[in-house]
């Protein structure tokens, strides 16, 4: 199931990329922009740091992107946030005595795999810089 963590990660990375005074980039400041709790921001930043997308210095406010926005694909961000491995779930145990029930799972697996591949291709084709350009910051 899709959640908002991916969107929030893009928001956080966009804010970091566009804030020239890095000392402003506290978890409270970022949380104010995202409109969430600073604890949520700190957890997400931890994930982004572990993925090699951000760095920080102990005892000092601020974060730095480790990957240029033009080189940071949305797919890399999605994967860093450990996005769901599927967008749609196929219901369990359809009735095998039914003509549709007997084949629906296999049929939907093919459809969903195609959708997943198209999503990954689109996210690979888009970068953080593309997002920033649309924000016009």
Mean pLDDT value across residues 58-74 = 91
Picking from 19-23, 49-53, 63-67, which range would have the lowest pLDDT averaged per residue?
19-23
Mean pLDDT over each residue of the chain, to the nearest integer: 91
Confidence of residue 90 (pLDDT cuts 50, 70, 90): confident
CA 72, CA 34: separation in Å to the nearest integer? Answer: 20
Higher pLDDT, 48 or 90: 48
Q: What is the per-residue DSSP string for 88-123?
A: SPPPS---TTSHHHHHHHHHHHHHHHHHHHHHHHHH
Structural domain boundaries, residue 45? 5-135
Q: What is the CATH number of the domain that holds 45?
A: 1.10.10.10
Does the global pTM surpass 0.95? Answer: no
Number of domains in the chain: 1
Phi, psi of 29 (to 5 degrees): -60, -50
Tokens of 94: 């359809």
Mean pLDDT value across residues 103-108 = 92
């Amino acid at each position: 199931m899709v959640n908002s963590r991916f969107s929030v990660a893009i928001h956080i990375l966009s804010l970091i990329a566009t804030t020239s005074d890095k000392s402003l980039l506290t978890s409270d400041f970022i949380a104010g922009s995202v409109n969430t709790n600073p604890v949520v921001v700190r957890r997400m930043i931890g994930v982004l740091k572990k993925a090699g997308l951000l760095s920080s210095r102990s005892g000092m406010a601020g974060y730095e992107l480790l990957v240029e926005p033009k080189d940071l694909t949305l797919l890399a961000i999605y994967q860093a946030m450990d996005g769901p491995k599927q967008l749609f779930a196929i219901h369990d145990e359809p009735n095998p005595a039914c003509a549709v029930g007997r084949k629906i799972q296999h049929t939907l697996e093919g459809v969903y795999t195609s959708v997943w591949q198209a999503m990954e291709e689109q996210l690979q084709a888009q970068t953080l810089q593309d997002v920033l350009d649309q924000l016009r910051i």
